């Protein structure tokens, strides 16, 4: 339930191409065959009363409220389960059906608490609405008989209650869990009068429920109710905006009472999520008003001094004078900055503009450096566009899906639900991942092939898949001949056919049986529509860029590009990774991925900006940190990124930060990085921002200010003030003006404006004169670069090797309830499910080391060590261990090394040689990390 | 940049591109596209100081930069 009601047609749309004409209440309508009578009536704006039906669930026919009369048919069929037939004549409002409906409602209400005036759902309850619609005025049966009014309430979930006494057993929650979320955590227990909704276990919290909220949204009563609504009351206004967590970029209705946010409800018209959500976006927004939020600017001369709260003016002046003085002493290249994927396109654009125009150099980079920079590189080389090829909806047409190095059910849950829906309908699944992720085998989903390769051997694996395609005549010659550069293809074909790429040789590298590789390759290549989805398990390697190109090769060789159901799809980690990259955050590129050395492009920016711009690339994040250590790089502006926790080899990062003369952090919280800062500019949460995010499917969504900025300023305003203090004025008065400038200088954005987005909802770039409403699927007629470019993808093993001292391989990832460095989710009740980082270790490796379930272990690599609890599981193979990096006290990146992708310097988070041993205690406030920080500070 | 980082990055680029027929052009283009002028200068200086740390292809390419 929610405040703003989108039209509910009662049953899902039919995708039939055949049409049927029927007459409903004397009016004729033509609808697709397979449409329900209920839906057809709604299309005529005739609302048939209903309780168990809603249009994101298959019809169920249990409530009997939607009965109608149909000429020539006996009885009163349910309109939700009755499909239209040619010439059918339907009557929805007859005395007979109205009497039935009233009787049905009377029975429901006879076993329902009569506490409407004090019920949290008062005013937002379909049962209440239907009682009014059918004209129920009395309940003849009394309330003394057997009933469910004393049934208990389950308060265990931190975000919603389950009040059994209010349940009408319509099964909408059970069906939402199955059909929308795909978790199958709920069931109807018992029979007849004893039927009741059950989470399967003792309570919701201990069940398999993933708290996506689909059941709460589906509930037509107050049975499943958000605690925030119970506590705060029913909201009274709605703002449609975009989630700030993962790269799915779900649309939400932010529902408020005055200026207080009461709940976030997924928006049905949101193109990315179509009304679904996960536990993070739906419920974990409390961090935005957490007491840890810093709302006033702070400065200090040295990081050993306490912070001093100052006015914006003083903070801006302090930062600007320091930056100027550092540049005058150490040179123009001695300062730089980092943009953030958690910020809007407009905020990111402003920062990169400040760096290029006011700092006068190209030392700007973005946190995509440490996640998807190889995607940008690899897809630009092969396809000509640094982005995924499809929209999310495309997966509904896929026949074979390959997931490589991604764990969508945890990291991209809303897309995972969409994918699982397709898998339940029969699409085949291949998983390439060292770990047995949930999608390998879960409720009603089982992968046809799981290729559990050794970390670091991705490229060998993709080459082997390509080898099978090339040597077993599985190439789509029509596609290759018409769409691809044939010279490059011939070179690739000669390379990929070499015996070193055969599954039999690759088996010795990856550990995956050759026959399994061959079978997977045949399955993908023979699919009508084969799609590849991948994550950071592809990019965060020494050969991340090579692997992305290998994936592109495979898709091109099999003709799986340029239509619905196919494609190469990077699952972006953060909400605006795509956008931050699009906006010119990389040191070698302006917005729209155009190199700074391109005189024509640079001149366009110089003329518009009124500044002289440099034509050589600037420094990447690791270059800046290295240069800081040797004394060449002295000041950095860090927008919304906690590099002291998220970047690899924490000790090195902290040493670099500690050696700088000025660190400026713009963020919500005093994070790990801010411990090394001299200036802290308080940032805005997504609830306060006014701008756009671009998700993993290139969808540009509006981020609307749900409430006024708690700091009094938008982040781009602070950047503009700093830029002005440095001598370069930006002169924007609204964020819409920034987008207008982006559209002016970025060919793929020329049709984008806030006004257009407000009108059409969202668009996927390219959005320009040729594609005014955007481009859901790219490369349809031809590739952006013209012909698709096959690339030779030689397997060059990482230098990170296991040794006798460090015999295990560590790989990292994230869990469903936490998000990246945890700055947001740790400040919510999501920590109920995961309150610490755990080390997953195979029972055989654990036994060898005397490690027991739940006990502390020391995890050590050649660069550092930390302590965390062990979790024994066969989900990781022997020889591989796995952990997350959500908690600073663990500091998992103390362990990860300096190795990075050869082309982009994306860190190799996924392969670190480690050893694990029992430990007597865990990390504390006085951990090794803290000690090292203090030592660094002392040295400074 | 630290010397060790720069040497590792250069050798890694060479290792990943040297099997291509057009490896010299590819390495040159890569360095010009992504490395700062200072990094290129430091690369040449390091090679002149001690070329044994570097892949042969990098040495060849650096001479043309």
* HEC letters along A414-448: HHHHHHHHHHHCCCEEEEECCCCCHHHEECCEECC
* Burial label, A155 (beta-carbon count in 10 A; 0-12, 13-18, 19+): middle
A423 and A346 housed in the same domain = no
B30 at A interface, C-beta within 8 A: yes
Size of interface A-B (CB pairs under 8 A): 52
pLDDT at A351 over 80: yes
- Cβ separation B34–A588 shorter than 8 A: yes
Res. A891: pLDDT tops 90:
no
Asked if residue A112 belongs to a domain, the reply is: yes
Please check whether residues A565 and A582 belong to one and the same domain.
no
Q: Residue A928: what pLDDT?
A: 43
Specify whether the CB–CB gap between A353 and A731 falls below 8 A: no
Whether B13 sits inside 8 A of A898 (CB atoms) is no
Cβ of B2 and A629 within 8 Å? Answer: yes
**Whole-number pLDDT of residue A921:** 83
Same domain flag for A457 and A538 = yes
Please tell me which of the candidates B13, B33, B39 has its beta carbon nearest to residue A595.
Answer: B33
Specify the pLDDT at position A1.
67
- Output the pLDDT for position A937: 41
Residue B58 at interface with chain A, using a CB cutoff of 8 Å: no
pLDDT at A142: 81
Q: What end-to-end distance do the CA atoms of chain A give, in Å?
A: 56
Q: What are phi and psi of A605, to 5 degrees?
A: -65, -40
Per the CB < 8 Å rule, is B36 touching A623? Answer: yes
Based on the structure, what is the number of domains in chain B?
1
Task: Label residue A143 by pLDDT band (50, 70, 90).
Answer: confident
A479, A545: one domain: yes
Number of domains forming the structure of chain A? 4
Select from A245, A239, A256, A154 the least CA-distant residue to A205.
A154
Q: Mind telling me how many Å the CA of B33 is from chain A's nearest CA?
A: 7
Q: In sequence order, what are the beta bridge partners of A730?
A: none
Structure confidence at residue A744 (pLDDT): 97
- Alpha-carbon distance A700 to A774, whole Å? 9
Confidence at residue A888, expressed as pLDDT on a 0 to 100 scale = 86
| Res. A2: pLDDT tops 80 | no
Q: Please tell me which of the candidates A546, A588, A630 has its beta carbon nearest to residue B16.
A: A546
Read off the pLDDT of residues A436-489 as tens digits, 9 standing for 90 and up: 999 999 999 999 999 999 999 999 999 999 999 999 999 999 999 999 999 999
Instruction: Answer yes or no: is pLDDT of A930 > 60.
Output: no
CATH number for the domain spanning A88: value is 3.10.20.740
How far is CA A204 from each of CA A178, A286, A658, rounded to the nearest angstrom?
16, 21, 46
What mean pLDDT is predicted for residues A219-230?
Answer: 97
Q: Chain A contacts of B5, Cβ < 8 Å?
A: 622, 626, 898
Structure tokens at A375: 């995607």
From residue A597, alpha-carbon distances to A129, A586, A853, B32 in Å are 64, 13, 56, 10
CA A421 to chain CA centroid, Å, is 18
Would you say A492 and A382 are in contact if contact means Cβ atoms under 8 Å apart? no
Domain boundary among A570, A588, A611: A570
CA distance A242 to A290: 20
| Nearest in space to A219 (alpha carbons), one of A289, A296, A120, A316 | A120
pLDDT digits (tens, 9 = 90+) for B10-32: 999 999 999 888 999 999 999 99
How confident is the model over A389-412, as a mean pLDDT? 97
A929 pLDDT tier (thresholds 50, 70, 90): very low
Lowest-pLDDT range of A51-65, A568-582, A887-901, B51-65: A887-901
Domain that residue A45 falls in: 19-118
Residue A666 makes CB contacts below 8 A (sequence gap 6+) with: A637, A638, A639, A640, A680, A681, A682, A683, A715, A718, A719
pLDDT tens readout for residues A501-531: 999 999 999 999 999 999 999 999 999 999 9
A458 with A544, same domain: the answer is yes
d(CA A226, CA A764): 33
User: Which among A361, A366, A341 has a CA at the least distance from the CA of A728?
Assistant: A361
A595 membership: H or E segment, kind and range: strand A594-595
Closest CA to A3 of A90, A99, A169, A125: A125
Query: What band does A925 get if pLDDT is binned at 50, 70 and 90?
Result: very low
pLDDT given at position A924? 58
Checking if the pLDDT of A387 tops 80, the result is: yes
Q: How far apart are alpha carbons B10 and B15 in whole angstroms?
A: 9
Residue A541 has pLDDT above 70, yes or no: yes
Q: What is the pLDDT of residue A936?
A: 43
Pairing between β-strand A589-590 and β-strand A567-570 as defined by DSSP bridges: unpaired
In a domain, A662, yes or no: yes
- Which has the closest alpha carbon to A13: A41, A39, A48, A37? A39
Q: Taking 80 as the threshold, does the pLDDT of residue A418 lie above it?
A: yes
Using CA atoms in the order A726, A732, A733, A735, what is the torsion angle rounded to 10 degrees?
A: -120
Whether B24 contacts chain A with CB within 8 A: no
Confidence (pLDDT) at B1: 76
A667 and A738 assigned to the same domain: yes
Distances (CA, A) of A486 to A567, A784, A787, A788, A791: 20, 17, 9, 9, 11
Residue-by-residue DSSP string for A673-720:
GGGG-SEEEE---TTT--EEEE-TT-EEEEE--SS--TTSS-HHHHHH
Please state, rounded to an integer, the average pLDDT across all residues of chain A. Answer: 95
* Element spanning A7, H or E: none
Helix (H) or strand (E) holding A638: strand A635-639
The predicted pLDDT at position A892 comes to 82
B15 vs A629: CB contact, 8 Å cut-off? no
A565 and A585 together in one domain: no
* Residue from the list B5, B32, B33 with its beta carbon closest to the beta carbon of A626: B5
Domain containing residue A535: CATH number? 3.40.228.10
What's the rounded mean pLDDT across residues A878-897? 91
State the CATH number of the domain containing residue A757. 3.40.50.740
Of B12, B20, B36, the CB nearest to A902: B12
Distance between CA atoms of residues A904 and A901, nearest Å:
6
Residue B25: domain span? 3-64
Q: Name chain A contacts of B39, Cβ cutoff 8 Å.
A: 623
The secondary structure element, H or E, covering residue A614 is: none
Q: Is residue A229 part of a domain?
A: no
pLDDT exceeds 70 at position A933: no
A591 in the same domain as A512: no
In this structure, are A858 and A921 located in the same domain?
yes
Q: Quick one: closest CA in B to A333, which residue?
A: B38
DSSP A397: G
What are the tens digits of pLDDT across the range A607-665?
999 999 999 999 999 999 999 999 999 999 999 999 998 888 888 999 999 999 999 99
Residues A582 and A525 in one domain: no
- Same structural domain, A467 and A409: yes
Contact between residue A524 and residue A551 where contact means Cβ atoms under 8 Å apart: no
A916 or A937: whose pLDDT is higher?
A: A916
Tokens representing residue A586 in the block: 């990389």
B7 min Cα distance to partner chain A (Å): 12
Judge whether A789 lies within some domain: no
Residues of B in contact with A333 (CB under 8 A): 36, 38
Could you tell me the two tokens for A386?
A: 């640094």
Residue A832 domain-assigned?
A: yes
Both A750 and A844 in one domain: the answer is: no
* Partner-chain contact A617 B20, CB within 8 Å: no
User: Would you say A386 and A379 are in contact if contact means Cβ atoms under 8 Å apart?
Assistant: yes
Examine the fold and report which residue of A61, A94, A118 is the final residue of a domain before the chain moves on.
A118
Residue A543 at interface with chain B, using a CB cutoff of 8 Å: yes
In a domain, A562, yes or no: yes
Q: Higher pLDDT residue, A145 or A504?
A: A504
Distance CA A738, CA A723 (A): 15
């Amino acid at each position: 339930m929610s405040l703003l009601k989108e039209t509910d047609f009662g049953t899902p749309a039919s995708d039939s191409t055949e049409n049927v004409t029927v007459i409903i209440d004397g009016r004729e309508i033509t609808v697709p065959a397979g449409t329900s009578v209920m839906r057809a009536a709604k299309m005529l704006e005739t609302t048939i009363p209903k309780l168990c039906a809603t249009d994101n669930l298959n019809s169920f026919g249990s409530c009997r409220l939607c009965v109608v009369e149909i000429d020539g048919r006996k009885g009163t069929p349910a309109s939700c389960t009755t499909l239209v037939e040619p010439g059918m004549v339907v009557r929805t409002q007859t005395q007979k059906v109205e009497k039935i409906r009233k009787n049905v409602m009377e029975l429901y209400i006879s076993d329902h608490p009569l506490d409407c005036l004090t019920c949290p759902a008062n005013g937002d309850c379909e049962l209440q609405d239907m009682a009014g619609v059918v004209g129920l005025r009395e309940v003849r049966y009394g309330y003394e008989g057997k009933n469910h009014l004393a049934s208990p309430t389950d308060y265990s979930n931190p975000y919603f209650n389950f009040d059994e006494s209010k349940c009408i057993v319509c099964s909408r929650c059970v069906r939402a869990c199955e059909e929308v979320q795909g978790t199958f955590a709920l069931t109807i227990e018992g029979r007849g009068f004893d039927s009741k909704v059950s989470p399967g276990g003792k309570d919701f919290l201990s069940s398999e429920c993933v708290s996506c909220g689909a059941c709460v949204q589906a509930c037509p009563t107050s049975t499943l109710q958000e605690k925030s609504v119970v506590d705060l009351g029913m909201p009274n206004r709605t703002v449609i905006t975009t989630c700030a967590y993962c790269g799915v970029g779900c649309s939400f209705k932010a529902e408020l009472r005055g200026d207080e946010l009461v709940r976030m409800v997924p928006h049905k018209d949101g193109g990315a999520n179509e009304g679904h959500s996960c536990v993070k976006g739906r419920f974990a927004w409390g961090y935005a008003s957490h007491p840890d939020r810093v709302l006033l600017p702070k400065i200090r001369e040295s990081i050993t001094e306490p912070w001093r709260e100052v006015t914006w003016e003083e903070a801006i002046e302090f930062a600007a004078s320091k930056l100027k003085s550092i540049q005058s002493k150490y040179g123009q290249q001695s300062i730089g900055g980092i943009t953030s994927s958690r910020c809007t396109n407009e905020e990111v654009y402003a920062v990169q503009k400040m760096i290029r125009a006011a700092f006068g150099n190209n030392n700007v980079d973005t946190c995509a450096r440490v996640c998807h920079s190889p995607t940008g590189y690899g897809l630009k080389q092969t396809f000509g566009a640094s982005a995924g090829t499809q929209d999310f909806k495309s997966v509904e047409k896929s026949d074979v899906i390959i997931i490589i190095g991604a764990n969508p059910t945890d990291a991209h849950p809303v897309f995972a639900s969409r994918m699982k829906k397709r898998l339940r309908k029969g699409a085949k699944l291949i998983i390439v991942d060292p770990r047995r992720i949930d999608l390998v085998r879960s409720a009603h989903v089982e992968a046809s092939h799981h290729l559990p390769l050794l970390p670091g051997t991705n490229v060998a694996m993709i080459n082997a898949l390509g080898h099978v395609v090339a040597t077993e005549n599985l190439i789509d010659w029509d596609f290759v001949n018409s769409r691809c550069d044939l010279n490059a293809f011939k070179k690739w074909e000669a390379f990929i056919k070499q015996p070193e790429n055969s599954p039999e040789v690759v088996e010795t590298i990856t550990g995956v049986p050759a026959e399994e590789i061959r079978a997977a390759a045949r399955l993908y290549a023979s699919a009508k529509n084969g799609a590849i989805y991948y994550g950071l398990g592809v990019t965060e390697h020494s050969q991340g860029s090579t692997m992305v190109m290998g994936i592109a090769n495979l898709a091109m060789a099999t003709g799986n590009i340029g239509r619905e159901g196919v494609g190469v799809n990077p699952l972006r980690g953060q909400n605006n990774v795509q956008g931050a990259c699009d906006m010119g955050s990389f040191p070698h590129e302006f917005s729209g991925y155009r190199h700074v050395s391109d005189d024509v492009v640079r001149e366009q920016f110089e003329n518009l900006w009124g500044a002289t711009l440099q034509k050589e690339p600037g420094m990447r994040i690791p270059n800046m940190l290295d240069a800081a250590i040797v004394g060449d790089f002295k000041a950095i502006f860090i927008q919304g990124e906690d590099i002291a926790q998220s970047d690899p080899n924490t000790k090195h990062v902290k040493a670099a930060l500690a050696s700088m003369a000025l660190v400026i952090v713009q963020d919500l919280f005093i994070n790990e990085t801010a411990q090394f800062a001299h200036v802290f500019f308080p940032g805005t949460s997504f609830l306060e921002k006014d701008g756009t995010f671009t998700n993993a499917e290139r969808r540009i969504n509006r981020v609307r200010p749900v409430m006024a900025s708690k700091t009094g300023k938008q982040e781009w305003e602070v950047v503009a003030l700093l830029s002005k203090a440095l001598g370069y004025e930006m002169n924007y008065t609204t964020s819409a003006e920034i987008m207008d400038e982006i559209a002016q200088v970025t060919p793929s954005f020329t049709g984008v404006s806030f006004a257009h987005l407000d009108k059409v909802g969202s668009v996927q770039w390219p959005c320009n004169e040729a594609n005014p409403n955007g481009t859901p699927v790219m490369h349809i007629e031809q590739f952006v670069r013209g012909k698709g470019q096959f690339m030779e993808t030689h397997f060059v093993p990482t230098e990170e090797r296991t040794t006798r001292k460090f015999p295990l391989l560590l790989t990292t990832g994230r869990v469903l309830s936490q998000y990246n460095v945890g700055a947001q989710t740790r400040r919510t009740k999501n920590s109920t499910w995961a309150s610490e980082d755990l080390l997953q270790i195979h029972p055989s490796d654990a036994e060898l080391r005397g490690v027991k379930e739940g006990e502390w272990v020391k995890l050590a690599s050649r660069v550092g060590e930390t302590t965390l609890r062990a979790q024994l599981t066969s989900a990781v193979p022997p020889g591989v261990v796995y952990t997350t990096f959500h908690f600073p006290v663990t500091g998992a990146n103390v362990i990860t090394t300096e190795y990075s992708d050869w082309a982009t310097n994306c860190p190799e988070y996924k392969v670190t040689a480690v050893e694990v041993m029992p430990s007597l205690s865990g990390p504390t406030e006085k951990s090794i990390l803290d000690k090292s920080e203090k030592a660094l500070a002392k040295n400074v | 940049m630290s010397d060790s980082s720069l040497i590792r990055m250069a050798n890694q680029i060479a290792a990943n591109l040297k099997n291509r027929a057009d490896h010299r052009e590819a390495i040159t283009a890569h360095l010009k596209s992504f490395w700062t002028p200072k990094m290129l200068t430091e690369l040449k200086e390091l090679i002149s100081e001690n070329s044994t740390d570097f892949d042969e292809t990098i040495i060849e390419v650096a001479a043309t930069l």
